[in-house]
Amino acid sequence: MLAVSACGATADKAESGSGNTGDKPVTGLRIMVPNTPGSGYDVTARTVAQVMQDSKVASGAQVYNLPGAGGTVGLQRLVNEKGNGKLAMQMGLGVVGSSYTSKSAATLTDTTPLAKLIEEAGAIVVSKDSPYKTIDDLVTAWKKDPKKVAVGGGSSPGGPDHLLPMQLAEAVGIEPKKVNYISYDGGGELLPAILGDKIAFGASGFGEFLDQIEAGQVRVLAVTSEKPIDAVKDAPTLVDSGIDLVFTNWRGIVAPPGITDEQKKTWVDSLTTMHDSEQWKAELTKRGWTDAFITGDEFGSFLKEQDKSVADLLTELGLA
């Protein structure tokens, strides 16, 4: 693992600009992904870095993975990097939940909020060889023997991939405590379990499986959005399938505590310029992501609300 040094985010005046004022691109930025390659966080972070490069917002932004404990290994590392204005971490709802279920000493309220980027619907997916051809087939078998029908997700208990099947179970009349949920550390570990039929179905963001969907290796039984998604146009929504459930996940970026206002501005301006680029808009369409961009203090307020609501829910379930 490459070492991260606690250096400033603005080595010279050129780096303090927003990226669209004629200044030189920001250099030396690094984005930590707190789970495995191939996960939703990983795909998002690498897309951000590539669009920053293509739109000349930043030059040579690096993405690296530090998986473990549902994202809290990376979270602890980020909090330990106090004042490091060149480092940020890709995160989302899953890290909020994991910080409680893993009893993490570090929490997201310790970080510096930069930007909420996207929202993404979930998907119920099976391998191409699965006996379940429709969501009705799956639900029928699941209700008959919940313990036998294992569901896998790319997040720890309390994360979005855990909350989704629990809410789905409740919506179809299955007691959530009876759900046989198997946790994987990100979509990179979840995918082989789906392809190898080690689980009956997977519940995760559909964007993590687009390549396999297009290749015919996995089948989407349903998406959890309110409306059908162009990227997986053949998949019905749960609502259209007669199941009263809409579920969305979100992803954002945070920095270590103790960075300067100038360092924070460099990140926020760079992310804002990236967000406004045609390249980013194209990625939103390509990946079926919903634009949910907010920055700075507004994202900080959202993060505090999410932290409280997740903590209350997990406490009620006896998981926090």
* Alpha carbon distances (Å) from 259 to 83, 110, 181, 195: 4, 12, 39, 43
Relative orientation angle of helices 72-80 and 93-101, to the nearest 10 degrees: 90
Cα distances (angstroms) measured from residue 1 to each of 27, 48, 64, 138: 20, 21, 8, 41
The Cα 91–Cα 80 span in angstroms is: 16
| Assigned token pair, 190 | 């979840």
**Residue 117: strand, helix, or coil:** strand
pTM of the predicted protein model: 0.77
In the DSSP assignment, the letter for residue 289 is P
Dihedral sign computed on CA atoms, order 230, 235, 240, 245: negative
Give strand pairing partners of 237: 223
DSSP β-bridge partners for residue 20: none
Alpha-carbon distance of 226 to 212, in angstroms, equals: 23
Q: Which residue has the tokens 């739109």?
A: 55
Helix, strand or coil for residue 294?
Answer: strand
DSSP state, residue 257? T
Question: 62-82: string of b/e by CB count within 10 Å (b at 16+)?
Answer: ebebbbbbbbbbbbbbbbebe
39's CB contacts (< 8 A; 6+ apart) are 33, 154, 185, 186, 187, 188, 208
Cβ count near 253 (within 10 Å) = 27
**H or E element, residue 88:** strand 87-92
pLDDT in tens, the chain (320 residues): 233 333 334 433 333 333 444 578 999 999 999 998 988 899 999 999 999 999 999 999 999 999 998 899 999 999 999 999 999 999 999 899 999 999 999 999 999 999 999 999 999 999 999 999 999 999 999 999 999 999 999 887 888 999 899 989 999 999 988 999 999 988 889 999 999 999 999 999 888 888 999 999 999 999 999 999 988 988 999 999 999 999 989 999 999 999 999 999 999 999 999 999 999 999 999 888 999 999 999 999 999 998 997 888 788 678 88
Q: What are phi and psi of 96, to 5 degrees?
A: -60, -50
Please provide residue 30's backbone torsions phi and psi, each rounded to the nearest 5 degrees.
-135, 140
**Angle at the Cα of 279 (from 277 to 285), degrees rounded to 5?**
110
Domains of the chain: 2-118+250-316 (3.40.190.150), 120-232 (3.40.190.10)
Neighbours of 4 (CB within 10 A): 18
